[in-house]
Structure 1
Amino acid sequence: MAAEEGPLELSVLDVIRETEDACSVVFDSRLDFRPGQFLTLAVPSDRTGLVARCYSLCSVPGEPLTVTVKRTAHGYASNWINDRLRPGDRLRVLEPSGIFSPASLDADLLLFAGGSGITPVMSIARSVLERGTGRIVLLYANRDERSVIFAGRWAALAAEHPDRLQVVHWLESVQGLPTQEQLRAFAAPYADREAFVCGPAPFMTLVTGALRDLGLPRSRRHQEKFVSLGGNPFGGDVAEIEETAEELAEAESEPSVVAPVHVEMELDGTTHAFDDWDPGTTLLEHLESKGVRAPYSCREGECSACAFRLLEGEVKMLKNDVLEPEDLEDGIRLGCQSLPVTDTVRGTYS
């Protein structure tokens, strides 16, 4: 089933307790998605009407959409989902988004996960093992044995695919916190692979540092991180969010170009070209005004759903809470925050 446009309202088929602090939410939907992508959920709130949060899919394409949510201290949405969500409830969601996905299921991968960061990694690993030919090596870090999400499933997958899956559990209660040197030594035999890392920020910093030490180019290092979304991407406050972006643009600096800009963006194999991009309008807004369904989730520069690669020209981002300096050096920009500063801009969402 192809993804639909705009917010969807999905019914909850099941809520599965994974650990004391984490549950998986199974939706009555089989929307198309890529392994490693996420859903943005509208969680009801008595104070604000809703809070929007992004949670990674642990299922594989063709199965019911399933996200796994770990309780966080003082985290309203994660606690509400773990405590109150029941089968039969309905939630609004945005269609699957994100770029934390392998280009090929036949490639050998090196995966790192910490805590609930295992969720997109499970989707990637299962997809490779069940639908591709690639081999998987995974290092999964947790506080203790009780914190391991999907422990039984990882054991079953390793038994089913002994020649293609190696799972190494790193428990802080046993081995202490991993160091960059230890992670580098673990990754060294697999330095020719694509690497994916998801987990707490300190863990991801150590892993990416270890991979850089081994000489893995940025093109083979992928990381996923989320921040709490402050606005409402489901429609209620979109006008206010867009107005704030315009105010920021005026307050920070005037665009470097004043005439309409020529823009070419490749999306899903099709190049969309226009000669009238208004320098005061973000790339996402411009594409939407032309009927192009460009990807997005938060519209606030707080997730990577709208990320594209700049091929020619330059843009100015109004806000960026997710891209690292290396991402920027690699030409990655956020479509929801990008204003043109050159007469021509070319890029790709692929």
Structure 2
Amino acid sequence: MQQHYVERDATEAVVAAQWSRVLGHPPASLDTDFFAAGGTSLLAAKLVSALRGALGTQLPLKAVFEAPTFRGLSTRIREGGSSPHTRVLTLNAFGRGTPLLLVPAASGGVVGLHRLGGAPIDRPVLGLQARGLDPADGAPCATLDDIVDDFATVLEKAEAPRSLHLAGYCVGGILAYELACELDRRGWDVRSVVLLNTSLYCPPLEAADGAREKLRSIVDEAGLTVPEGEEPDTVSVFRLLTSDDADTLESDFAQFEARLKVFGSVGAAISGYVPRQVVFPVRLFSTDDRDDPADVERTPHEVTDWPDLGLPDFWQHHVPVDHFEMIAHEPTLRAVEEVLTELDDR
């Protein structure tokens, strides 16, 4: 299992990314103290400067001294109105390489991906967030084409850099691959697509069934008790989460329900996916457990794996840890940066 704290929202993802970049390691828990973890006054100034660049805000230096824990600093940013309420999120504003765009997986956001915004990734890092994750955006996109068109339009409106590497973890790799195709069609310079343990076993799934699967996983991960013989429902699980003593940011039912709907919509959108041929470089970082046996069993169509597609510029890197550990695995992060740097130098 992962040996680091997993952030809970976009604000914590940004803080964790810059914390990792400044100190060389992510926060170990919500209550990790910046100074106890190796921070100094000079490093506090560097952290604030990095957060200002990522958040586009004038965060005061005293914020780190007044709220030195990961929880405290993240809360200070939220309460100060600097939380990144945007579809295109900046995890890191600085670096030498071509910018990297992180495309969300089934969760619809950047939660869990903060290490790709921190050291050793030496380039600006952007993160996309799916439509519907914020209830004010409206319903999530229903098809893969809709998701891709929406992402491309959001990037154009945000005036994102027109030359990009794209990366996606798990099913996010499929979204990154298809988004790269669309951006290439629109004239963007797609430098590469990095697939982080992306499987091509995509069994049939209805959006409502995907949302129920996510709800059951939330129940299991939170250790909640559901009456025997009953299926968890959204309202009861939300009540259990908000009444439990566990650390949670769940406070708005509409946002909680929206998160489930996004998960279900992404799962339904990639059902039966078969990739097309592309001309840009594709790099696959793969663990031994990349293909979920349950997904393999439920996928009715014949699957041709990435290495067998005959892509003109393809390379696969074996990752010696499991699916959940890889996005915090320091050697893998270094290998990703080395691949991106090599492609930049072409």
Give the TM-score taking structure 1 as reference length: 0.29
Using CA pairs below 8 Å that are at least 6 residues apart, which structure has the higher relative contact order?
2
TM-score (norm 2): 0.30
Higher normalized strand content (fraction of residues): 1
Q: Which has the higher helix share?
A: 2
